[in-house]
Amino acid sequence: MSLYLDLARQHEPQLLQFMKDLIATQSLSSQEGKVIKRVQTEMKKLGYDEVRVDPMGNVIGRIGNGKRVIAIDGHVDTVDVGDLKQWKTDPFTPVLKNGILYGRGTSDMKGGVASAVYAGALLKKAGFPKDVTLYVTGTVQEEDCDGLCWQYIVKEDKLRPNVVVITEPTSLRIYRGHRGRMEIEVETTGISCHGSAPERGVNAVYKMAPIIADIEKLNARLKPRKPLGKGTVTISHIRSRSPSLCAVADGCVIHLDRRLTVGENERVAVRQIQNLPSVKKAKAKVTVLTYEVPSWTGLNYPTKKYFPTWEMPESTKEVKVARAAFQDVFNSAPTVGHWTFSTNGIATAGMHGIPTIGFGPGHEHFAHAPNECVEVEHLVRAAAFYAGFVAHYGKA
């Protein structure tokens, strides 16, 4: 057994209790204050050299003061629970059964946060690398606006690591990128009139109907591109506007979730929508949305809802170090892949060009699902890997 895996097993009871506390502390986006303070308390208890909460509300723990700067990041916010009838246990009462821990945020992604925090403790116990500075970040508002926290950390906190490890769930695989995404609205306008004589007006919903059909066809035309697969576009919401329920609608808006693969960007995606025959005929307005919601501290940091695609080639130093660390810690070869969903990597790698890799406990398919869970063994192994990665990167 490797040193870091052995130390992680020794810390399992404390790690598990910390994880249970995180699950029991509800933390929807922009409501993370209590869980941030819980993470801050644990970092201080474990002897981090510095622990602070920035103006946005991200908790940032530091160990060491070397030239090689590593950040291990996990967001502390979760989505809501949805239909409680679909849950077999209370989402905020951690339940441990047969080595599996159940509760909201177990896979997405308080497990990654807990394991990352304890990786710092393992490194201090083993002897912290001399030439390394480690930051462990518990970040906010990711579920509402992935990457916003790291836009702030890089631009305002002036923290720019040499490498970032994203702890979103990977089933203990090494991930090296994912598709980007955008949020787009398409709006049609009409002329209202009394519903008893609809021919007197122009119905904006009818103008939207062929646009909806064209967007479905556009999604079918999008081609897969290696290594991230197919870009997609889907309508996630539709709403209309009229003076009353007895009137013709004079406005209609659809919300598009656009996933971006290799070679796709904001300009490409917007033009694809603008060039649809139905959009041109309806003279519809196409808008890339802006996120403008205050964090739990009250800070508002607006950003366009365009989140770039990113991918780290196999040949990069960071992927090679991750492979070597995995082999050393677990005495086996890793599986390397990509996420289906989006992470804070859209900011670290996609916007700021910081080398980024992913490794996390839990499984992507449990994200946002009822009966979310994570294996306790995953928490232990993730903590061991993070410590091993830091040690290997310090020598690379």
**Strand, helix or coil for residue 267:** helix
Q: Which of 237, 233, 240 is nearest to 273 (CA)?
A: 233
Active site residue 311: no
Please give the C-alpha separations between residue 364 and each of 200, 227, 245, 284, 307, in angstroms, as whole numbers. 51, 18, 42, 36, 19
pLDDT of residue 262: 95
Element spanning 187, H or E: strand 180-189
What single-letter DSSP state applies at residue 49? S
Active site residue 168: no
- Annotated catalytic residue within 77, 143, 266, 318: 77
The pTM assigned to this predicted structure is: 0.95
Contact 172, 378 (CB under 8 A): yes
> Tokens representing 71?
């950040």
Residue ranges of domains in the chain: 3-178+309-395, 180-291
d(CA 59, CA 136): 8
pLDDT of residue 396: 83
Tokens 């940091």 sit at which residue?
301
Dihedral of CA atoms 139, 314, 335, 102 in degrees, nearest 10, equals 10
Mean pLDDT of 224-231: 95
> Tokens representing 204?
């904006």
Mean pLDDT of 355-371: 97
Using the predicted structure, report yes or no on whether residue 1 has a pLDDT greater than 70.
no
Binned at pLDDT 50, 70 and 90, residue 98 comes out as very high
Using the predicted structure, report yes or no on whether residue 355 has a pLDDT greater than 70.
yes
d(CA 94, CA 110): 12
In one letter, which amino acid is 285? K
Mean pLDDT of 260-286: 98
Q: Each residue of 290-314: pLDDT tens digit?
A: 999 999 999 999 999 999 999 999 9
Sort strands 95-97 and 100-102 into parallel, antiparallel or unpaired.
antiparallel
**Domain range 3-178+309-395, CATH class:** alpha beta
Q: Each residue of 128-163: pLDDT tens digit?
A: 999 999 999 999 999 999 999 999 999 999 999 999
Contact 167, 112 (CB under 8 A): yes
Largest CA distance in the chain: 80
Q: What percentage of the chain has pLDDT greater than the value 90?
A: 99
- Annotated catalytic residue within 54, 142, 266, 372: 142
Q: How high is the mean pLDDT of the chain?
A: 97
Q: Each residue of 138-147: pLDDT tens digit?
A: 999 999 999 9
In one letter, which amino acid is 114? A
Contact 7, 333 (CB under 8 A): no
Task: Report the topology of domain 180-291.
Answer: Alpha-Beta Plaits (3.30.70)
CA neighbours within 13 Å on the CB side: how many for 316? Answer: 16
Please give the C-alpha separations between residue 310 and each of 2, 39, 169, 315, 353, in angstroms, as whole numbers. 32, 29, 17, 15, 9
Q: What percentage of the chain has pLDDT greater than the value 70?
A: 100
